[in-house]
Structure 1
Amino acid sequence: MASLGWSCMTSFLTYETNKSVVVKSWSVGIINRLVQLMIISYFVGYVFLYERAYQEADTAIESSVITKVKGFGKLENNVMDVADYIYPPQGEGVFSIITTVITTHNQFQGICPEIDGKFNCSTNSCVFLFKGIITGVCNTSVGTCESEGWCPAEDDSVKIKPMAEFVNFTIYIKNSIRFPLYNVTRGNFPPTIEPKKCIHDRISNSLCPVFRVGDILNQTTHNVTELGGEIGINIEWMCNLDQDVELCLPKYSFTKLDAPFEKSKISKGYNFRFAKYYKTADGTEFRTLHKAYAVRFEVKVTGTARKFSLIPTVINVMAALTSIGMGTILCDIILLNCLKGAQQYKEKKFEEVGLKRSTVRVKRNNCYSDSGAISISTDY
């Protein structure tokens, strides 16, 4: 046990130092330089030039979005303007353009038969929830369940021709952003753009924030005319503040947010209901119910501002210099395990030095005393 403890103590109380060994081998030298070249290329090309690791990034973008839609359309022989087809009307970053409306007029509170005849009450029990609260009574005259609620019940199987003109509507997006770390503010309407001639085009007029609805839908390559849908308008600000701040400009892209549900059998597209309430002369309340199919637009703003900073530059330079040493590690593995002269390289690279104690007799005042002296022995 004592010998084991002494062995552990001896192993612990050791010191290691580097020893330089020059290996004259073309193959190992080429591998070493290639690895170093790959590491340097990675840090220079990807880390510093592509990722711009010498800059500090501000991703806490502050953003404000105001929208305005213009255009006229025709739905069931009625001319529709912005007040008719935009919901909500406040001009926020999320809004809907109504393309089709199924209207149920003069609904009063009462008891009426269900319109949907999929569950005939002569063969099915009246326990299903349709357009109101099921009373459990079968209306034998029409063969459907009876419900309590707003009557007559809504019939959403009616086919209404969508408002075709909505593809020519225009959407103006007013976006202002701020990067708080650098206190930089920008707007998405450059002063060089002529407002009256401004319609967004990916190639010829990519900075114009006025978009034609049909162009947006063409870029998403999805049909939302009949059942509606959800469209994302993405505004991306990627700003290099080491350059002129006027070069900090937005990029626009469009995505169909509900694309994963197109093959779903339940709730395709996008629709919602709203009602307008009235009263008769005797005070009885009634309403007109609207089921609206719409294209829902959601404006999303993202951005990053970058500027030179000494701290990330020093950190990444030190990381690059440290990583260059990986070439030495790889070459050591090859020399110690793969080449024919591996044993000879091991003997040259690893040298074990021990300390031996010798006794020297010193004469003082006609007396001899022992004094410890240390000599270094080298084992190969």
Structure 2
Amino acid sequence: MSKKASNACPSFISNTFFTYSTVKMVEVPNSAIALLNRVIQLVICGYIALYIVWYQRGYQEFQEPRGTSVAKIKGVSSVSVKIPSSPSANHSRVVWDTTEYGLPPLENNAFFIATHQIVTYDQSDSRCPSALKSKLFCANKTSICKEGKPTPSTSGFFTGKCVASFENSSISVCEISGWCPEEMSASTDLQISLHDLSNFTIFIKTSVTFQRFDINLRNIGDNTNFSCRYHPIGDQRCPIIRVGDILEGLHTDIPALIKEGGVIEIEQLWECNFDYDKRLCYPRYLFHLLQSGDDKQSPGINYRTAYKYRFDNTTYRLLSKVHGLRFVISISGRGGRFHALQLFLAIGSGIGYMVIAGLVCDFIMVHVHKSRNTFRAGKVSLVRPTETTSS
């Protein structure tokens, strides 16, 4: 046995490194199978040429754009003014321009339009009844108004007293120590006009770069007409967009969106083919609703700001709760240019699909065709090992 083992090692090395093996070819004179094989191969070749190479631009190397955007909003609106704590009060209207609703005035790749504002004037650090909206009813029982405990709305601390409501003297509520009057107990409600908001315009100025190709682009050309308005079919290159056109395509509750606020994405899709003139590359604008105003839990978007001032040695503040539309500008897409290596890789990956033709035809001949036994005998060789006896 040791002699056989010693001879096996050189034989294995010889067969591995010095013997060439190839696949046995079996010719089948069957026109139907041959035609099927060529049709499948032709379909695969068409898939490689039309889809992988042409449609998917497999002959190019790609890079995603990098860049930044700045937006400017223009428009003026008539804003309704209401006092929720005094329903019988006469409603008035004021005018909001960019300074009023563009808060904050500048963000990086984003901007905000205030649509609904709740303002509490002349707050001072003192004691006052809690707002009815806080639902801190006590009915002359001070057990729920435990002194020194913060209120659920975190607007102040309980004083331990039960007093008449500022909004309705027939109702008793807990007294608080904090910035008084409390928000919503003596606040003014301002809401923008939907009709005016729809006519606001957004001017987007974007610069992107494709560093691999040493190409820098802007969405504004030398011949840009700044009196244009963006339209997905009529004028795709215009950088000025009506807010109304954005809202109409969101398919959401617009009044709730105006009242509670929301988040909207403006996607700039740069699909560029740098085998042609780079000036033919410009973005498409897509609009997506990320946060709506009619969600059951935590709808919309809002934030609070306070402005402090002093009068007669007393510190006052003006508190504003602002709801609005936050627009986030994103940049996506890709730019491509011809590259020979990418072309060969695309063709090579497609050639691998050619084995499908042989697999389909072999399956038919071995398992389906009426002459399957004859084909199997010609294709498959059964080798039976011979038994040897050791001396």
User: Per the shorter chain, which TM-score range?
Assistant: 0.7 to 0.9
The verdict on how the C-alpha distance between 1:153 and 1:349 changes in structure 2, with shifts beyond 3 A counting, is same
RMSD: 3.1
Alignment of 1:245 onto 2:278: yes
Q: Which moved more, 1:118-127 or 1:306-315?
A: 118-127
Q: Choose from 37, 49, 63 the match for 2:67.
A: 63
State the distance in 1 between where 2:191 and 2:106 align.
27
* Unmatched runs of 5 consecutive residues or more in structure 2: 82-92, 166-171, 387-391
Deviation, 1:266, is 2.9
State the distance in 1 between where 2:321 and 2:110 align.
19
Q: Choose from 113, 116, 120 the match for 1:97.
A: 113
Q: Match of 1:325? A: 355
- Larger radius of gyration, structure 1 or 2? 1
Deviations 1:123-147 (A, max 9, x none): 8834751242442725243322333
Q: Choose from 297, 301, 304 the match for 1:266.
A: 297
Q: Choose from 164, 174, 183 the match for 1:141.
A: 164
The verdict on how the C-alpha distance between 1:289 and 1:166 changes in structure 2, with shifts beyond 3 A counting, is same
- The structure carrying a bigger strand percent of its residues is 1
In the TM superposition, what are the counterparts of 1:355-374 in structure 2 within 5 Å?
A: none
Count of matched residue positions in the alignment of Structure 1 and Structure 2 = 348
The verdict on how the C-alpha distance between 1:161 and 1:58 changes in structure 2, with shifts beyond 3 A counting, is closer
Q: Which moved more, 1:143-152 or 1:305-314?
A: 143-152
Deviations 1:299-322 (A, max 9, x none): 111120011111111112222333
Q: Choose from 179, 190, 213 the match for 2:221.
A: 190
Q: Which moved more, 1:156-165 or 1:197-206?
A: 156-165
Query: Is the contact between residue 47 and residue 53 of structure 1 (CA under 8 Å) also seen in structure 2?
Result: yes
Deviations 1:319-349 (A, max 9, x none): 2333212211222222222323333223322
Q: TM-score, normalised by structure 1?
A: 0.81
Corresponding letter in the other structure for 1:42: Y
State the distance in 2 between where 1:25 and 1:150 align.
94
Query: Is the contact between residue 266 and residue 330 of structure 2 (CA under 8 Å) also seen in structure 1?
Result: yes
State the distance in 2 between where 1:33 and 1:162 align.
68
Q: Match of 2:249? A: 219
- Aligned-pair identity in percent equals 29
SS of the counterpart of 1:190? coil
Deviations 1:155-197 (A, max 9, x none): 07865443342222211110011101101111111222222x2
Query: Is the contact between residue 131 and residue 147 of structure 1 (CA under 8 Å) also seen in structure 2?
Result: no
State the distance in 1 between where 2:153 and 2:135 align.
11
Query: Is the contact between residue 131 and residue 154 of structure 1 (CA under 8 Å) also seen in structure 2?
Result: no
Q: Choose from 161, 186, 199 the match for 1:168.
A: 199
Q: Choose from 232, 236, 243 the match for 2:269.
A: 236
Deviations 1:268-302 (A, max 9, x none): 222221111111232x3220001112111111111
State the distance in 2 between where 1:266 and 1:136 align.
32
Corresponding letter in the other structure for 1:295: L
Q: TM-score, normalised by structure 2?
A: 0.79
Q: Choose from 78, 83, 101 the match for 1:85.
A: 101
State the distance in 2 between where 1:31 and 1:353 align.
31
Q: Match of 2:331? A: 301
Query: Is the contact between residue 32 and residue 328 of structure 1 (CA under 8 Å) also seen in structure 2?
Result: yes
Alignment of 1:120 onto 2:149: no
Q: Match of 1:279? A: 310
Q: Which moved more, 1:133-142 or 1:101-110?
A: 133-142
State the distance in 1 between where 2:264 and 2:137 align.
39
SS of the counterpart of 1:193? coil
State the distance in 2 between where 1:355 and 1:228 align.
81
Q: Which moved more, 1:114-123 or 1:204-213?
A: 114-123
State the distance in 2 between where 1:64 and 1:45 align.
35
Q: Match of 1:360? A: none
SS of the counterpart of 2:260? coil
Q: Match of 2:123? A: 107
Q: Choose from 11, 23, 46 the match for 2:28.
A: 23
State the distance in 2 between where 1:159 and 1:129 align.
23
Corresponding letter in the other structure for 2:182: A
Query: Is the contact between residue 116 and residue 189 of structure 2 (CA under 8 Å) also seen in structure 1?
Result: no
Deviations 1:213-269 (A, max 9, x none): 22221222330322222221111110001111111111112121114xx55323322
Corresponding letter in the other structure for 1:106: D
State the distance in 1 between where 2:258 and 2:350 align.
55
Query: Is the contact between residue 235 and residue 252 of structure 1 (CA under 8 Å) also seen in structure 2?
Result: yes
State the distance in 2 between where 1:278 and 1:158 align.
19
Q: Match of 1:42? A: 47
Query: Is the contact between residue 111 and residue 148 of structure 1 (CA under 8 Å) also seen in structure 2?
Result: yes
Deviations 1:183-212 (A, max 9, x none): 1111111222222x2222223222111112
Query: Is the contact between residue 335 and residue 345 of structure 1 (CA under 8 Å) also seen in structure 2?
Result: yes
Q: Match of 2:182? A: 153
Alignment of 1:257 onto 2:257: no
